[in-house]
């Protein structure tokens, strides 16, 4: 049984987001990083735990994305959990902010990857799953696994 490997351009995947949320409306966004942060991301030192997107002053901010400090950065201080600005069009920001405010949805980062030499973040609208939704998805996954085992 072989697991599907991420493409070479994929840096990190937020697998917990698919477990905790029903995801829809995926979107690509650029991310504003400093030089040492880019080096650390290239090394794969990224952690998505509890990260989400918040909207303040007409900007989309990625909060709680932990990028470990780069070891050879020199004397410049690095904050691993600082808010990072997402690069989106104003209309996209307004639409996402309105949906999160009205419907009780959350915008979560799903994947961090390279696209034409730039680091991009895939974000998605997520609605929190209830306990019975978790159980249902586990049952469905087990049934699919059993069916695949029967076919092989």
The pLDDT tens digits of the residues spanning 50-97 come to 899 999 999 999 999 999 998 887 777 888 999 999 999 999 999 999
Q: What is the mean pLDDT of residues 105-118?
A: 93
CA distance 57 to 55: 7
Lowest mean pLDDT among 70-79, 105-114, 127-136: 127-136
Write the pLDDT tens digit of every residue in 33-58: 998 999 999 999 999 988 999 999 99
Residue 124 tokens read as: 């998605």
Please state the pTM of the whole predicted model: 0.79
DSSP helix/strand/coil, 69: coil
Half-sphere exposure of 15 (CA within 13 A, CB side): 3
Q: Which secondary structure element, helix H or strand E, spans residue 132, and what is its range?
A: helix 131-151
More confident residue, 132 or 118: 118
pLDDT of residue 111: 94
- The two most distant CA atoms of the chain are separated, in Å, by 59
Percentage of residues in the chain having pLDDT higher than 70:
95
């Amino acid at each position: 049984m072989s697991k599907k490997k991420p493409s070479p351009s994929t840096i990190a995947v937020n697998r917990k987001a698919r477990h905790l949320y029903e995801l829809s409306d995926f979107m690509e966004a650029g991310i504003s990083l400093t030089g040492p942060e880019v080096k650390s991301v290239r090394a794969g030192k990224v952690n998505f735990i509890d990260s989400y997107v918040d909207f303040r002053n007409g900007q989309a901010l990625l909060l709680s994305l932990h990028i470990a400090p780069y070891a050879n950065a020199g004397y410049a201080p690095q904050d691993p959990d600082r808010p990072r600005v997402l690069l989106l069009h104003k209309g996209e920001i307004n639409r996402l902010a309105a949906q999160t405010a009205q419907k009780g949805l959350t915008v979560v980062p799903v994947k961090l990857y390279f696209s034409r030499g730039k680091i991009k973040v895939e974000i998605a609208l997520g609605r929190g799953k209830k306990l019975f939704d978790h159980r249902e998805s586990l049952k469905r996954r087990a049934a699919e696994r059993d069916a695949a085992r029967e076919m092989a």
